[in-house]
Structure 1
Amino acid sequence: MRVTGLFPLLALAALSAAATAPPTDPSTAVDALMRDYDGHVPGAAVLVLRDGRPLLRRGYGLADLEAGTAAGPETNYRLASITKQFTAAAILLLAEDGRLSLDDPVKRWLPSLPAAADAVTLRQLLAHTSGLVDYEDYVADDFPGQLRDADVLRILEDQDRTYFPPGSAYRYSNSGYALLALVVGEASGRDFASFLHERIFRPLGMDNTVAHQDGVDTVAHRAWGYSLADGRWTRTDQSRTSAVLGDGGIYSSIDDLARWDAALYDDRLLQPESLARMFSPATPTDEPDVPHYGFGWRLNGDSAWHSGESIGFRNAIVRWPGERLTVVVLSNRNGPRPYPLALEIARLFRDPAPP
């Protein structure tokens, strides 16, 4: 078994090999694309769905290097920012319940925020147009342990400014989604993790998905995060911000994400009006390959997608609703970015093989 380095070169080599290979079964071509995730290295799980049916459902490499535990379809990875679509769904559910309005000032729910946040609305938090400062830049060097969503609020209470007038521009904001998790708690009367479990995960049968809190719950079939440095894989599973739930704290598997994907096509979870809001352009972005952002989703023409990147994890989910096609790549390593890989996997299933 091998340990490889130089992620960009590996990714380019894998994509080039797949592009020049003769026509073959797509699953075999995916295996070729994923070969650097296979063996005694941090691995990945890949899911390709069409019309809700898995065309490919496969694990590669290891979920736990130290224990030698293989990665499989049931392995749960820290989703990082893919979490944001669940946070957005929680807010939309509460709007359907009449518990809140998307145009509520955030200070209706979190009144301790400073005056600079007076004009910020929940809709702006969802679309990253609030202008709130990035909490990660203001964590005290001597902060003990890990931050929680409530700690993000305390940091922002001391920052009486915004990057721009709320609603006037786009800037991707983890701060906004941490605050949305707190709003879910205030509006529902339940903590964020419990609300997700009761209103999203359990109804959809996502039985092993959890907004993870150390000492409160456990992650079944857990993948541990790793980083490659000096030719060796080192466990780097948690950082000071890994316990913030609203912007990135959910663990899930490709099997459970298949259930989530199915719920985005009908009204089993959200009403059609809420789904339309989630996937409608809410704002242009400043990202060159992302024309618009919705609520928890990047929107690019006929596709909706999101990446999730945190210490030791790199993930992507890409949906082509018009084709009823979805590709998910979850990995427990610090690189490479899986979004280009997900697009290449999708190409194998979108383009018909030549006669």
Structure 2
Amino acid sequence: MGWVALCLALSLGLLTGCGAGGPDTIDAFVQDTTPDGSRGVIAAAQGDDLVLCEGWGLADDVREVEFGCDTVVDVMSMTKQFTAAAVLKLQMFGELDVSDPIGDYLEGVPEDKQSITIQQLLTHTSGLGDQLGDDDDPITRDELVAAAMDSPLQFEPGTYAYSNLGYSLLAAIVEIASGDGYEQFLAEHLFAPSEMASTGYVLPDWTAHDVAVEYDQGSGAQGSPLDHEWADDGPWWNLRGNGGLLSTARDMYRWHLALLGNDILDENAKGQLFEPRVREEPDDTHYGYGWVITEHEDQPLAWHNGGNAHSYGELARTTDGGAFVFWSSTQARSESGEWDFEELGPTLTEGALSRLL
């Protein structure tokens, strides 16, 4: 069910549990919506008030660890908003401008890519392909930049086409413009000021009990993100900047709080982050900087999802900060096909939002 159809169903009360409701109904809604045998975590806030932060099912079957508000999960492509925020933070520092061509920061930019700007990387309009290989392929920053410059453009710059590669190049630009590592810059300028001590690639002090194991559709354990064959300082560069950050539901709520204020990003930067810029065909949605911009109950909504072979999750907040929802499941689907969180996701996200507004 798409966003428009789902909103109509919600407004007409066609979905179980839909209709008017306050924060006290969210917990029951989540219990009714999350299928038996599934697992995950959800946080919901009304303004700055955290009204729900809880898990369901087991984060680790062998250790019998239950999912909770502080369970660490892969936020997958929701990483992109943090990369976009880092770029805007550097713009606030005067270290770059989103209108700058990428050749101001990256070496070896050929003629066909010299017109590409940072903003086009942010909005998936660079013309670059989606990715250069598998997430775990051992490729360094300089190797990725060189390969990207050698790759043929898939579209004329200015055309929307989702590109994980573009966000990896943004992570490289963050490093080059700041002189810091990508994760180090995020940790110092975004995460630490937001009190997000459990968000990052390798810097947080996690234990194996903290991090959820991912499961295939047959409930077979596939290891946790800590088991990935990463470089010493985080994922290889096909993933860095576009995905793979680890966080908790509580930390994602803390990021929501940070976006309510102006200490991390000022009003101008937040306005740029949430401005609907490029339409995503065929949907009636637009891409901003690391966020999909749409509407919910006539209010501007910033949204993004993330998924890998085993996990799936979504993040949504009204752009004024009046409502916030984050959830993630480390088992995206069941073996029987009875449930699939990629299909269930809009119901869970929009239903929770409707109980906050």
Q: How does 1:115-130 map to 2 (within 5 A)?
A: 115-130=111-126
1:29 counterpart letter in structure 2: F
Structure 2: distance between partners of 1:343 and 1:323: 15
Superposition deviation, residue 148 in structure 1: 5.1
One of 153, 164, 169 as aligned partner of 1:162: 153
Structure 1: distance between partners of 2:320 and 2:177: 34
Superposition deviation, residue 270 in structure 1: 0.6
Structure 2: distance between partners of 1:72 and 1:273: 35
Superposition deviation, residue 66 in structure 1: 2.4
**1:71 pairs with 2:67:** yes
Structure 2: distance between partners of 1:322 and 1:271: 14
Unaligned regions of 5+ residues in structure 2, if any? 1-13, 334-340
One of 78, 92, 95 as aligned partner of 2:91: 95
Unaligned regions of 5+ residues in structure 1, if any? 1-14, 351-355
One of 223, 246, 252 as aligned partner of 1:257: 252
2:173 is matched with which residue? 183
Structure 2: distance between partners of 1:255 and 1:36: 24
Q: Summarize the Cα distance change of 1:87–1:218 in structure 2 as closer, same or farther, 3 Å threshold.
A: same
Greater CA drift, 231-240 or 58-67 = 231-240
1:199 is matched with which residue? 189
2:36 is matched with which residue? 36
**1:344 pairs with 2:351:** yes
1:107 is matched with which residue? 103
1:152 is matched with which residue? 144
Superposition deviation, residue 291 in structure 1: 1.9
1:156 counterpart letter in structure 2: A
Q: How does 1:312-323 map to 2 (within 5 A)?
A: 312-322=310-320
Q: Summarize the Cα distance change of 1:125–1:145 in structure 2 as closer, same or farther, 3 Å threshold.
A: closer
2:179 counterpart letter in structure 1: G
Q: Summarize the Cα distance change of 1:226–1:28 in structure 2 as closer, same or farther, 3 Å threshold.
A: same
Superposition deviation, residue 280 in structure 1: 0.6
1:298 counterpart letter in structure 2: V
2:220 is matched with which residue? 233
One of 66, 80, 98 as aligned partner of 2:76: 80
Q: Summarize the Cα distance change of 1:149–1:60 in structure 2 as closer, same or farther, 3 Å threshold.
A: farther
Cα RMSD (Å) of the superposition? Answer: 2.7
Structure 1: distance between partners of 2:137 and 2:153: 27
CA contact (8 A) 2:304 2:315 kept: yes
2:330 is matched with which residue? 332
The secondary structure found in structure 2 opposite 1:25 is: helix
**1:240-264 deviation digits (Å, cap 9, x = unpaired):** 8964220002111111111100111
Superposition deviation, residue 129 in structure 1: 0.5
2:8 is matched with which residue? none
Q: Summarize the Cα distance change of 1:91–1:25 in structure 2 as closer, same or farther, 3 Å threshold.
A: closer
Structure 1: distance between partners of 2:251 and 2:316: 15
Task: Give the number of equivalent residue pairs.
Answer: 319
Q: Summarize the Cα distance change of 1:233–1:180 in structure 2 as closer, same or farther, 3 Å threshold.
A: same
> Identity over the aligned pairs, expressed in percent?
28
1:295 is matched with which residue? 289
Q: Summarize the Cα distance change of 1:17–1:292 in structure 2 as closer, same or farther, 3 Å threshold.
A: closer
**1:191-219 deviation digits (Å, cap 9, x = unpaired):** 10100111111111001111x14xx7654
Greater CA drift, 96-105 or 340-349 = 340-349
Superposition deviation, residue 305 in structure 1: 0.5
CA contact (8 A) 1:113 1:156 kept: no
CA contact (8 A) 2:75 2:244 kept: yes
Structure 1: distance between partners of 2:139 and 2:61: 27
